[in-house]
Amino acid sequence: MKRYSVFAVAREALRYHQGWGRAWRSPEPKKKYEAIIIGAGGHGLATAYYLGKNHGLKNVAILEKGWLGGGNTGRNTTIIRSNYLQDASAAIYEKARSLYETMSQDLNYNVMFSPRGVMMLAQTQHEIRGYKRTAHANALQGVSTEFITPDRVKSLVPIINIDGPRYPVLGALWQPRGGTARHDAVAWGYARACSEMGMDVIQQCEVTGIRRQNGQVQGVETSKGSIDCEKLGIVVAGHTGVLADMAGFRMPIESVALQALVSEPIKPCMDVVVMANTVHGYMSQSDKGEMVIGGGADGFNNYTQRGSFHHVEETVRALIETFPIISRLKMLRWWGGIVDMTGDRSPILSTTPVKNIFINCGWGTGGFKAIPGSGWAMAELMAKGHSSLTEEFGLNRFKEGKFIDESVAAGVAH
């Protein structure tokens, strides 16, 4: 495939952009692959990419029942951070954050990574204690964060109101190397790189069954026919339970809708990401000027990709107190995504009761930030059968009671 560069752009401009080829191929599935990844979202594509790049496994198919990146990858609010409390969580999220920093160069595709900084507001005394504890843990983990004062918050975000009557800002956990990236570009960049390695990205190919024999995976049944494989990775976020049922086992997850919205575009007024766990809201400004606002997850299990009015009202009402400047803005778009939640609000990257079936799920409300780290770890798990990044995220932890409790860091605001 043609390499993207400033020289290629200039050359194609002279040709009226007639020479650009497809970013990735759209082949028909082969009869057999070494590995099949179900789910062509960010995590699935990253898994396939690192299988090829790090482990030389390139006879791979990525199957997607809809269109590439059309699930949660295209529906999130693009926040990237790694300031988690538990060591296992900090390790995989920091791996992801560091990979984001060089992703555009690695993929030869501009993912628009913007290390603008992420702050998590402390608006209660309990949050002050919790965030100071996290800052100390991050220092031991090698993750650069600090707890900052209300005055520092105001200097970083001039439009914020730190003296709100219900939700005063008492400080914040600040990660200066956190930020955002373009969600679609991450999926497109990985898809292009996978296709260039000879992998097959197959869209509109729904998996309808998983074939097993003697406790080992044999292949999958799809809307495009039967496909054999030696290894199978299930990376389908909120639909994990459906695929696991096809394979003959159950997963300790629940699926709920998480919603977000964007305002009409305005001039630049905020160049950091602000998260407020107390009010279940977070906000950043996109490159187009829209205020990107996220809220809480629905309180009941569902597979809808729409928002619910009461959550939007609750989130916006609280954010207006903290950011009075947004009170007259009009909502431009409103949507929801299906997130998969575990009991301890930490992901599952694990082998399964069926030999050579591997599963990656349970990222809850924070999957986007983890994409490259998740793909790196899942690829290593599939290729070698183990990975230091996934050791504590196995299915067995729910039987053994070895939970990775990230309910404060991961349960609501991302």
In a domain, 386, yes or no: yes
pLDDT (mean) for 98-119: 96
- The residues with which 165 forms a beta bridge, in sequence order, are none
Q: Which domain holds residue 280?
A: 118-181+255-340
152 and 262 inside one domain: yes
308 is a domain residue: yes
Task: Assess whether 335 and 272 both reside in one domain.
Answer: yes
Distances (CA, A) of 49 to 24, 172, 235, 351, 387: 13, 36, 14, 19, 16
Structural domain contains residue 81 = yes
- Confidence check: pLDDT of 407 > 90: no
Task: Please give the tally of structural domains in the chain.
Answer: 2
Same domain, yes or no, for 270 and 134?
A: yes
Residue 408 banded pLDDT, cuts 50, 70, 90 = low
Q: Is the pLDDT of residue 414 over 50?
A: no
Residues 64-80: what's their mean pLDDT? 92
Q: Are the C-beta atoms of residues 53 and 103 closer than 8 Å to each other?
A: no
Asked whether residue 297 is domain-assigned, the answer is yes
CATH number of the domain enclosing 91? 3.50.50.60
Q: Provide the mean pLDDT of the chain.
A: 92
- For 259-297, how does the pLDDT look when each residue is reduced to its tens digit (9 = 90+)? 899 999 999 999 999 999 887 789 999 999 999 998 878
354, 212: one domain: yes
Mean pLDDT to the nearest integer, 377-387: 97
In a domain, 15, yes or no: no
DSSP string for 175-219:
ETT-EE--HHHHHHHHHHHHHHTT-EEE-S--EEEEEEETTEEEE
pLDDT digits (tens, 9 = 90+) for 346-373: 999 999 999 999 999 999 888 999 999 9
174: pLDDT strictly greater than 60:
yes
Q: 268 with 195, same domain?
A: no
pLDDT-based confidence at residue 166 (cuts at 50, 70, 90): confident
pLDDT at 52 over 90: yes
- Asked if 40 contacts 64 with a C-beta cutoff of 8 angstroms, the reply is yes
- Answer with the one of 294, 322, 340 that is the final residue of a domain: 340
